[in-house]
Amino acid sequence: MNRIIIASIALALLLSCSQVKNVASSRSLLPLPANIEESKGRFIFNNATTLKIAAEEKDANAVGNFLAASPLALERGEKDSNAVVMTICNDVEGITSPEGYAIETTEENITVKAISGAGLFYAAQTILQLAAEGNGVPAGKITDEPKFAYRGMMLDVSRHFFDKEFVKKQIDAIAHFKMNRLHLHLTDAAGWRIEIKRYPRLTQFAAWRSKPLWKDWWFGDRKYAEEGSPEAHGGYYTQDDIREIVAYAAERYITIIPEIEMPAHSEEVLTAYPELSCTHEPYKQADFCIGNEKTYEFLENVLTEVMELFPSEYIHIGGDEAGKASWPHCPLCQKRMKEERLKDVNELQSYLIHRIEKFVNSKGRQIIGWDEILDGGLAPNATVMSWRGTEGGIAATESGHKAIMTPGGYCYLDSYQDAPHTQPMAFGPYMPIEKVYSYNPIDGLSKKQAELIYGVQGNLWVEYIPTEELVEYMIYPRILAIAEIGWSNPVKRDLGEFKQRAVKAVNELRAKGYNAFDLGNEFGQRKEALTPTEHLAKGKSVTYASTAPFNERYNAGGADALTDGNHGGWTYIDGRWQGFIKDGIDVVIDLGEEKEISSIAADFMQMCIPDVWMPAEVTISVSCDNTNYIELTHIGHKVVRDEGLSFKNYGWEGAAKARYIRYRAKCGPQRGWLFTDEIVVK
Pair 118, 98: CB distance under 8 Å: yes
- When pLDDT is averaged across residues 526-549 and rounded to a whole number, the result is 95
Residue-wise pLDDT tens digits, 153-185? 999 999 999 999 999 999 999 999 999 999 999
- When pLDDT is averaged across residues 42-60 and rounded to a whole number, the result is 96
Task: Please report the pLDDT score of residue 609 as a whole number.
Answer: 86
Among residues of the chain, what percentage have pLDDT more than 90? 92
Task: Share the mean pLDDT of the chain.
Answer: 94
Task: Please report the pLDDT score of residue 17 as a whole number.
Answer: 37
User: What single-letter DSSP state applies at residue 194?
Assistant: B
Question: CA–CA separation, 561 vs 679, rounded Å?
Answer: 9
Task: Please report the pLDDT score of residue 428 as a whole number.
Answer: 80
pLDDT grade for 134, boundaries at 50, 70 and 90: confident
What is the SS3 string spanning 116-181? CHHHHHHHHHHHHHHHHHCCCEEEEEEEECCCCCEEEEEEECCCCCCCHHHHHHHHHHHHHCCCCE
Cis preceding-peptide flag for 477 (omega within 30 of 0): yes
At 369, phi and psi to the nearest 5? -145, 155
User: What single-letter DSSP state applies at residue 277?
Assistant: S
What is the SS3 string spanning 62-81? HHHHHHHHCCCCCEECCCCC
Q: Which residues pair with 405 in a beta bridge?
A: 386, 456
C-alpha separations of 132 from 13, 73, 113 in Å = 7, 13, 22
Residues near 384 by Cβ (< 8 Å), separated by ≥ 6?
368, 369, 370, 371, 373, 374, 378, 392, 393, 395, 396, 401, 402, 403, 404
pLDDT at 15 over 50: no
- For 505, the 3-state DSSP assignment is helix
pLDDT at 6 over 70: no
The enclosing H or E element of 10 equals helix 3-17
Q: What is the amino acid identity at position 55? A: A
DSSP 363-403: TT-EEEEEGGGGTT---TT-EEEE-SSSHHHHHHHHTT--E
> Among the listed ranges 125-134, 169-178, 225-234, which one has the minimum average pLDDT value?
125-134
pTM of the predicted protein model:
0.91
Task: Please report the pLDDT score of residue 138 as a whole number.
Answer: 94
Pair 603, 577: CB distance under 8 Å: no
The set of catalytic residues is 188, 265, 321
- For 481, the 3-state DSSP assignment is helix
pLDDT grade for 492, boundaries at 50, 70 and 90: confident
**Within 13 Å, how many C-alpha atoms sit on residue 632's CB side?**
24
Among residues of the chain, what percentage have pLDDT more than 70? 96
pLDDT at 23 over 60: no
Pair 285, 279: CB distance under 8 Å: yes
Strands (E), 213-300: 233-234, 255-262
Task: Please report the pLDDT score of residue 582 as a whole number.
Answer: 80
Provide the pairing of β-strand 578-581 with 673-681. antiparallel
Q: Which residues pair with 316 in a beta bridge?
A: 259, 368
Question: CA–CA separation, 99 vs 122, rounded Å?
Answer: 7
Say what angle helices 293-309 and 239-250 make with each other, to 10 degrees. Answer: 50
Say how many residues make up the chain: 682
531, burial (CB in 10 Å: exposed 0-12, middle 13-18, buried 19+): exposed
Residue-wise pLDDT tens digits, 436-475? 999 999 999 999 999 999 999 999 999 999 999 999 999 9
Task: Please report the pLDDT score of residue 27 as a whole number.
Answer: 76
389, burial (CB in 10 Å: exposed 0-12, middle 13-18, buried 19+): middle
Residue-wise pLDDT tens digits, 371-386? 999 999 999 999 999 9
Residue-wise pLDDT tens digits, 552-569? 999 999 999 999 999 999
Pair 396, 375: CB distance under 8 Å: no
At 580, phi and psi to the nearest 5? -130, 140
- Residue ranges and CATH numbers for the domains of the chain are 3-144 (3.30.379.10), 150-521 (3.20.20.80), 527-681 (2.60.120.260)
- When pLDDT is averaged across residues 272-291 and rounded to a whole number, the result is 97
Task: Please report the pLDDT score of residue 208 as a whole number.
Answer: 98
Task: Please report the pLDDT score of residue 135 as a whole number.
Answer: 72
pLDDT grade for 340, boundaries at 50, 70 and 90: very high
- For 625, the 3-state DSSP assignment is coil
Question: CA–CA separation, 550 vs 570, rounded Å?
Answer: 20
Pair 146, 96: CB distance under 8 Å: no
C-alpha separations of 351 from 66, 219, 277, 355, 361 in Å = 45, 33, 17, 6, 15
- For 405, the 3-state DSSP assignment is strand
- When pLDDT is averaged across residues 131-146 and rounded to a whole number, the result is 90
Task: Please report the pLDDT score of residue 429 as a whole number.
Answer: 86
Question: CA–CA separation, 309 vs 305, rounded Å?
Answer: 7
Pair 519, 496: CB distance under 8 Å: no
Task: Please report the pLDDT score of residue 349 as a whole number.
Answer: 97
Pair 519, 506: CB distance under 8 Å: yes
Task: Please report the pLDDT score of residue 25 as a whole number.
Answer: 64
Q: What is the amino acid identity at position 111? A: T
pLDDT grade for 4, boundaries at 50, 70 and 90: very low
Question: CA–CA separation, 24 vs 230, rounded Å?
Answer: 55
Pair 268, 225: CB distance under 8 Å: no
> Among the listed ranges 270-284, 354-368, 487-501, which one has the minimum average pLDDT value?
487-501
Q: What is the largest CA-CA distance in the chain?
A: 94
Residue-wise pLDDT tens digits, 64-97? 999 999 999 999 999 999 999 999 999 999 999 9
- When pLDDT is averaged across residues 534-551 and rounded to a whole number, the result is 95
pLDDT grade for 12, boundaries at 50, 70 and 90: very low
Q: What is the amino acid identity at position 150? A: Y
Question: CA–CA separation, 502 vs 481, rounded Å?
Answer: 8
